[in-house]
Amino acid sequence: MRKTTGARGLSSPLETATNYPQVWQPKYWGASDIAAMEMTASRALLQMAAKFRTNYLRNFYELNRVAAQTNSNPNQPLAYVVFAGQGREEIVSRFVEILLGQGIEVYKMNRELKTSIPFTDAIHTEVPLGSFLIFTDQPQRNNVEALFGKQTYPNRVDERGNVDVPYDVAGWTLPLQMGVETYTVTQIVEYPNSARGLERMTNINQVRQTLNLDAAKESFAKLPNPLKTNPRIGLYKGFTGSMDEGWTRFVFDTFQVPFKTVSDADVRGGNLNYDAIILPADSETTIVNGLKEENYPKEFTGGITAQGVENLKKFVENGGKLICFDDSCEMVIKQFNLPVKNVLSGLKRSEFYCPGSILSLDVDNANPLARTFGKQAAAYFINSSAFEISDASKVKSVATYAKNNALMSGWLLGEKHLNGRTALAETDYGKGKIVLFAFRPQHRGQTFGTFPFIFNALEKQN
C-alpha cells in the first residue's frame, strides 16, 4: 500500500501518482489562476457534453432503467419506511423534503400495509396510515441506499499501522444524523400493487399536511424557534475563519434563533452582556492568539488574548453559560482548570482513528440538557474528543459513547479508547455553567438529531 501522509489521499501535490498524473508546478498562484482553472474545467465539461450528448443520454437512461428494476434478492431492501407519529414532525418534514429535493420518489401510505422488517420482535409489522415509503426500485436507487444504508468503511491500515486517509468522511447515514426513525422493508406480504393505497408526494406541503403541519410558503422554509425562554445568545467569531462557526450560524438562522456575533474585541474588552456564549470548534491557539500581526492588518489580529480568557472566566463566574464545541473544549478545560481530560489526545492514528462517522451515545435523559432524548442517540464524530472526568462531584456526565459497539456507520479504529467515555458534560463555575461537547453537535448543519442538545443548553435556567 502506498503511504499517504498528505491531504485528500495524496502524499504531495508535487508527486506524480495514478490519480494525479500531471503534477502542479510551483509558481505564484493568485485569484486569476483559480478563475482560469475553473473556466477551463467548465468549458471542457460543456465540450464533452456537446460532443457525446447521445452517449450520455443513453447511458443515463440505461443506468436509471436498471436501477428501477425490482431486486430479486430477498435479503436486499425492498423499501425504507418512515413511520408516522414520531413526535418530531418538523424534522421528519425536513428529512422528506431533502429526499424530494434530490429527485427521490416518496410515497404516503393511505392504508395500512403489513411488511417484513428484519430485527423486530414480530416477523410482520403493520405500517400505520400516514407513514412514508421509499422504494429502492426507482431511478435513484443508489442514492436511496447510500442515504438510508449504514456505511461500512474498509479497515485500510498497512502493516506499519499507517492509515489510508479517506477523501472526506466515512459514514453519512442521513436518518441517523437527523434523528429520524426509519426501518428497512424486505417484503410486503399482502395487498396487490393496485390496492396498496400509495400516493406519491410531489411537493413538501403534501407531506406537511400528512404530518398535520401548516403549509410552507417556500422550499426549505425556516423552522420554528424551539427555545421556550428568550436567552441572550452570543456566538464567538474570530478573524481566522471558522466553518464550525458558520455551521452554527446556519442552524440558528434555520431555526430562527436570535443571536449576536461576539468578536475578539468584544471578548478582550469584556463586552459580554449575554446569557450564553458559544465557542465553535476552534483550537486554543486559534481563539487566544488569532492571526499573526506580521501577516495581517492589526485590527484583524491577536485573538481574544489572555485578557479575553480572564473575561470569559468572569462572565461564567457572574452567572453566564459558556458552551464549547469539540476543539474549543481543550482551551476551557485548561484555562478554567476543570477536572477533565481528553483521553484521545496524543494517540497515534494507528491506535485511534475516526475520520467522520456516526457513533452511538448512552444518554442520561433525566438531565435537563438531554430532555426530549431517549436513552440512546446518534452523534457525529470527526476526529473529535472523549472525556475522562476525574471528579464526578464537580463535573456531570450527560452522555457517553456506548460501552461497546459504538460505531453505527462509518469507520472507527481503536474503539476501546472511547467506549464509555464522556461525550457531553456540564459543570458549575461560580454562579454560571460550562457545557462541554466532545463532538460537533451541529456538524455541517445537518445533524438535526443532536441539535436539541444545543437548544437545551441555551435555555435559561429557573
180 and 252 in a single domain? The answer is: no
DSSP code of 32?
A: H
260 and 379 in a single domain? The answer is: yes
Separation between Cα atoms, residue 13 and residue 131, nearest integer Å: 50
Could you give the 3-state DSSP secondary structure of residue 17?
strand
Closest among 285, 281, 378 to 328, alpha carbons compared:
281
Longest dimension (CA), the chain: 74
pLDDT at 118 (0 to 100): 57
- Cell numbers 469507520 correspond to 411
How many domains does the structure of the chain reveal?
2
> In this model, does residue 121 exceed pLDDT 50?
no
Judge whether 267 lies within some domain: yes
- CATH number of the domain at 438, please: 3.40.50.880
Separation between Cα atoms, residue 187 and residue 73, nearest integer Å: 11
Residue 374 vs residue 8, higher pLDDT: 374
pLDDT at 27 (0 to 100): 78
Choice among 5-9, 111-115, 337-341, 356-360 with the minimum mean pLDDT: 5-9
In contact, 132 and 183? CB cutoff 8 Å? no
Judge whether 12 lies within some domain: no
393 and 256 in a single domain? The answer is: yes
pLDDT at 6 (0 to 100): 57
pLDDT at 343 (0 to 100): 98
The number of residues making up the chain comes to: 462
**Domain-terminating residue out of 175, 210, 245:** 210
Judge whether 258 lies within some domain: yes
Judge whether 69 lies within some domain: no
Judge whether 222 lies within some domain: no
- Side-chain-side CA neighbours of residue 267 (13 Å): 30
382 and 255 in a single domain? The answer is: yes
Mean pLDDT of 157-172: 88
Kindly report, residue by residue over 21-39, the tens digit of the pLDDT: 777 777 788 899 889 989 9
In contact, 316 and 322? CB cutoff 8 Å? yes
User: Containing domain of residue 378, as a range?
Assistant: 233-458
Q: Is 238 left (phi over 0), alpha (psi -120 to 50) or beta?
A: beta
Separation between Cα atoms, residue 289 and residue 268, nearest integer Å: 12
Name the band, by pLDDT with cuts 50, 70 and 90, for residue 462.
low
pLDDT at 186 (0 to 100): 83
To the nearest whole number, what is the mean pLDDT of the chain? 91
In contact, 237 and 263? CB cutoff 8 Å? yes
> In this model, does residue 210 exceed pLDDT 80?
yes
135 and 244 in a single domain? The answer is: no
299 and 162 in a single domain? The answer is: no
> In this model, does residue 5 exceed pLDDT 60?
no
pLDDT at 4 (0 to 100): 44
Judge whether 194 lies within some domain: yes
Beta pairing partners, 363: 399
Judge whether 451 lies within some domain: yes
Cell output for 313: 472566566
- Cell numbers 501518482 correspond to 17
pLDDT at 84 (0 to 100): 86
H/E stretch holding 303 reads: none
Kindly report, residue by residue over 37-56, the tens digit of the pLDDT: 899 999 999 999 999 999 99
Beta pairing, strands 321-325 & 276-279: parallel
CA distances from 440 to 231, 351, 385 (A): 21, 22, 10
Q: Where are the beta strands (DSSP E) in 97-176?
A: 107-109, 113-116, 124-127, 132-135
423 and 277 in a single domain? The answer is: yes
Name the band, by pLDDT with cuts 50, 70 and 90, for residue 196.
low
194 and 283 in a single domain? The answer is: no
Burial profile 204-237: b = 16 or more Cβ within 10 angstroms, e = fewer: bebbbebbebeebeeeeeebeebbeeebebbbbb
Separation between Cα atoms, residue 240 and residue 262, nearest integer Å: 14
**Domain-terminating residue out of 210, 243, 273:** 210
Judge whether 8 lies within some domain: no
Separation between Cα atoms, residue 459 and residue 398, nearest integer Å: 16
Cell output for 338: 476543570
248 and 155 in a single domain? The answer is: no
pLDDT at 362 (0 to 100): 98
pLDDT at 117 (0 to 100): 58
> In this model, does residue 3 exceed pLDDT 50?
no
> In this model, does residue 119 exceed pLDDT 80?
no
pLDDT at 37 (0 to 100): 87
Whole-structure pTM value:
0.89
**Domain-terminating residue out of 178, 210, 242:** 210
Burial profile 352-362: b = 16 or more Cβ within 10 angstroms, e = fewer: bbbbbbbbbbb
Kindly report, residue by residue over 330-355, the tens digit of the pLDDT: 999 999 999 999 999 999 999 999 99
pLDDT at 160 (0 to 100): 83
Kindly write down the DSSP assignment for every residue of 319-370, as one continuous string: T-EEEEETTHHHHHHHHTT-SEEETTTT--TTT-B-SSEEEEEEE-TTSGGG
337 and 420 in a single domain? The answer is: yes
In contact, 417 and 343? CB cutoff 8 Å? yes
Mean pLDDT of 143-154: 95
295 and 353 in a single domain? The answer is: yes
342 and 450 in a single domain? The answer is: yes
Name the band, by pLDDT with cuts 50, 70 and 90, for residue 149.
very high
